[in-house]
């Protein structure tokens, strides 16, 4: 994709202080978009904005909980006030709370569903309302996971939310396609981020069981996301791209 690909576009990216979200924010800003970077962690959000501005990108931070509906509306309003419009919404923030199904507490289920599903649903809703007012279309993207395709031990709640996001994208095709809004998902496999690298065996384990011989890096995932929200993908909607180095083709267990 060229440097001009996102010129004139305005994007919101949730959970973009580090990891996959930060890489998406960096790449899309460096290709011309103005970006609202959300994170619940103030230090991470501010550091992300400083890093991207130092590279020449145009972005602002908005600190808050991407699961909170009032805050979601504030993100949309702030993007419009600061940058004049909103054309791209990327619901990237998501949490993974591991736990044995037979002991899994309601509080964990509520937290996972609240951010992964409710936060993504209402970001899509509020972004779509704004994009419709502008009458020139836009793109919504949900961050799924291969855990929404293949069963993983101790991840029933998380996997359920990621499978749900892929069905949400398909469902919204009915209502949002006539308004020229695309809705797609990206499902990363094991990806090297600050969080996953806290597990010292993560890289070796996933290198061993991934057909391409390594886990994804954040650039691999961001490349797929940028394609799906770019002008090149404006006739692609309701679809998912798996970025997993072939893992779901064989699905060798990490355990
Ligand atoms: N890393 C992986 O291996 C992997 C694999 C498949 C899917 N995913 C998905 O990709 C997305 C990003 O994953 P990651 O590993 O880069 O994320 P991460 O766990 O590193 O978190 C990214 C950011 O989200 C922020 N955040 C957490 N809760 C938030 C909230 N309520 N509101 C706003 N921000 C919040 C964190 O502070 C953090 O800076 C998630 O949806 C995750 O489920 C990740």
Question: In testing the pocket of ligand 1, which one of 20, 23, 48, 144 has its CB within 8 Å of the most ligand atoms?
Answer: 20
Q: Residue 178 Cα, ligand 1 centroid: separation in angstroms? A: 31
Could you tell me the end-to-end alpha-carbon distance of the chain, in angstroms, rounded to an integer?
38
Does the beta carbon of 203 sit less than 6 angstroms from any atom of ligand 1?
Answer: no
* C-alpha to C-alpha distance for 27 and 25, rounded to whole angstroms: 6
List the domain boundaries for the chain.
Answer: 10-242
Q: Please determine, for residue 2, whether its predicted confidence score (pLDDT) is greater than 70.
A: no
Query: Which atom in ligand 1 lies closest to the alpha carbon of residue 116?
Result: 41
* C-alpha to C-alpha distance for 198 and 195, rounded to whole angstroms: 6
Structure tokens at 224: 């797929």
Question: In testing the pocket of ligand 1, which one of 37, 93, 150 has its CB within 8 Å of the most ligand atoms?
Answer: 93
Q: For residue 253, what pLDDT is reported?
A: 85
The residues, ordered by sequence, that sit 6+ positions from 217 with a Cβ below 8 Å of its Cβ are 191, 192
* C-alpha to C-alpha distance for 143 and 165, rounded to whole angstroms: 8
Query: Which atom in ligand 1 lies closest to the alpha carbon of residue 96?
Result: 43
SS3 assignment, position 110: helix
* Residues 43-62 pLDDT 10s: 999 999 999 999 999 999 99
Domain 10-242 CATH assignment equals 3.90.1150.10:
no
* Residues 156-207 pLDDT 10s: 999 999 999 999 999 999 999 999 999 999 999 999 999 999 999 999 999 9
Q: Residue 241 Cα, ligand 1 centroid: separation in angstroms? A: 18
* C-alpha to C-alpha distance for 194 and 170, rounded to whole angstroms: 31
* Residues 85-96 pLDDT 10s: 999 999 999 999
Q: What is the pTM of this model?
A: 0.98
b vs e for 210-244, b when ≥16 Cβ sit within 10 Å of the residue's Cβ? beeeebbebebbbbbbbbbbbeebeeebbbbbbbb
Contact 140/89 with Cβ under 8 angstroms?
yes
Structure tokens at 207: 């290198």
pLDDT bracket for residue 3 (50, 70, 90): low
Which residues are catalytic, by number? 145, 158, 162
């Amino acid at each position: 994709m060229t440097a001009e690909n996102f010129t004139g576009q305005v994007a919101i990216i949730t959970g973009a202080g580090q990891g996959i979200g930060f890489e998406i924010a960096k790449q899309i800003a460096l290709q011309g978009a103005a970006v609202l970077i959300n994170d619940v962690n103030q230090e991470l959000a501010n550091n992300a904005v400083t890093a991207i501005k130092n590279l020449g990108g145009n972005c602002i931070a908005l600190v808050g909980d991407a699961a909170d509906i009032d805050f979601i509306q504030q993100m949309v309003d702030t993007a419009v006030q600061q940058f004049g419009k909103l054309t791209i919404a990327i619901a990237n923030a998501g949490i993974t709370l591991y736990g044995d199904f037979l002991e899994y507490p309601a509080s964990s289920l509520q937290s996972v569903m609240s951010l992964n599903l409710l936060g993504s649903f209402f970001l899509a809703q509020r972004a779509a309302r704004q994009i419709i007012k502008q009458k020139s279309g836009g793109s919504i993207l949900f961050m799924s996971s291969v855990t929404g395709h293949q069963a993983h031990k101790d991840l029933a709640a998380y996997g359920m939310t990621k499978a749900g996001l892929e069905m949400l994208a398909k469902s919204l095709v009915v209502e949002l396609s006539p308004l020229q809004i695309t809705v797609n998902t990206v499902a990363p496999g094991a990806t090297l981020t600050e969080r996953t690298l806290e597990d010292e065996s993560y890289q070796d384990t996933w290198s061993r069981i991934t057909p391409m011989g390594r886990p994804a890096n954040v650039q691999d995932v961001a490349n797929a996301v940028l394609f799906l929200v770019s002008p090149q993908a404006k006739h692609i909607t309701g679809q998912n791209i798996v970025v997993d180095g072939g893992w779901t083709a064989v699905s060798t267990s990490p355990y």
